[in-house]
Amino acid sequence: MDPKRGVSIALLLLAVGVSAVSAQTFGQKKRTPKPYEYGDVVMNNFSAAKNMAPVVFKHWTHRGRYTCRLCHIDLGFAMQAGVTGVKEDDNANGLYCGACHNGKEAFAGKAKLLSRSTESCDRCHSLGKDKDVEKRFADFIRGYPTSRFGNKVDWLKAEASGLVKLKDHLEGISIKRKTLSMPANEQIKAAVKGMPDIMFSHEKHAVWNGCELCHPEIFGVKKGSTVYSMQDIFDGKFCGACHGRVAFSNLDCQLCHTKEVM
């Protein structure tokens, strides 16, 4: 990037504190999802072809109960929409959604044969059918600490204050692992003069992500071995593998660029 442009972005960010404007200076894409849609994944590898409505998986209804690690490592869901390839047989065999949606941990998908009702199927196969989602979201968000973008929930605060209690283990599925020692915080340089550096907390990330969600796939195992730019992050890589999709939005520059550099 032209360094002059970088500086003007940085100054704009610092002076005005408005981030949405500066984000547009980078190549940001598509419309901003509504707070109740942020983190939604439509799963439709097979559904429409079998005359079922596509599945809408909502992160906000799940991430307040379970760690990212539990689903994305122990249960094997891909961190990329559409990649897992879940089949209804898998669910019935206790895999993927069925690891929880078994009538014990969470509701199960059962067709009521006599009435031919597909009500419980529709709860997951819900694209275009979820009429009261806005109201459910409004009820849900009441009482949570708020943030400016994304779901408008400050998830870190919600967890730290005990409002959210995360399960990181499912009986019969998760295995006990050795706890690894916690590395120190990283101060990551923003390679543009005047742009505040980024303080990255291993401890706060590990609460949700464990270690395996980031190492070795997203970030290498040696300090400084991974080189990337802000544009990469906006494109969904590195920090952007989570931020801007499920974790807080990349529009909130100040949540990452916190460290004043003189």
Residues from 211 through 240 that contact ligand HEC (CB under 6 A):
211, 213-215, 218-219, 223-226, 228-231, 233, 238-239
Considering the complex, what minimum distance in angstroms separates the CB of residue 248 from ligand HEC? Answer: 3
Q: How far apart are CA 225 and CA 222, in angstroms?
A: 5
Binding residue (CB under 6 A) for ligand HEC from 53, 152, 192, 196: 192
65: nearest Cα among 154, 149, 155: 155
Q: Does 152 bind ligand HEC (CB under 6 A)?
A: no
Record the tokens describing residue 177, joined without a space. 């692992």
Q: Does 79 bind ligand HEC (CB under 6 A)?
A: yes
Sign for the CA dihedral angle at 154, 160, 164, 165 comes to positive
Three-point CA angle 19, 255, 241, nearest 5°? 90
Q: How far apart are CA 181 and CA 167, in angstroms?
A: 21
Window 20-49: contact mask with ligand HEC (x via CB under 6 A): --xx-----------------x-xxxxx--
What b/e string do you get for 11-24 counting C-beta neighbours within 10 Å, with b at 16 or more? ebbeeeeebeebbe
Peptide bond into 216 cis (omega under 30): yes
Q: Does 261 bind ligand HEC (CB under 6 A)?
A: no
Binding residue (CB under 6 A) for ligand HEC from 36, 53, 63, 137: 63
| Distance from the first to the final alpha carbon of the chain | 22
Q: Does 68 bind ligand HEC (CB under 6 A)?
A: yes
Q: Does 93 bind ligand HEC (CB under 6 A)?
A: no
Q: Does 19 bind ligand HEC (CB under 6 A)?
A: yes
Reading phi first (left if > 0) and then psi (alpha if -120 to 50, else beta), residue 116 is in: left
Q: Does 104 bind ligand HEC (CB under 6 A)?
A: no
91: nearest Cα among 125, 128, 53, 127: 125
Q: 143 vs 225, which CB is nearer to ligand HEC?
A: 225
Q: Does 253 bind ligand HEC (CB under 6 A)?
A: yes
Binding residue (CB under 6 A) for ligand HEC from 8, 33, 37, 88: 88
Considering the complex, what minimum distance in angstroms separates the CB of residue 166 from ligand HEC? Answer: 9
| Close Cβ partners of 171 (under 8 Å, ≥ 6 residues apart) | none
Binding residue (CB under 6 A) for ligand HEC from 53, 73, 158, 206: 206
Q: Does 259 bind ligand HEC (CB under 6 A)?
A: no
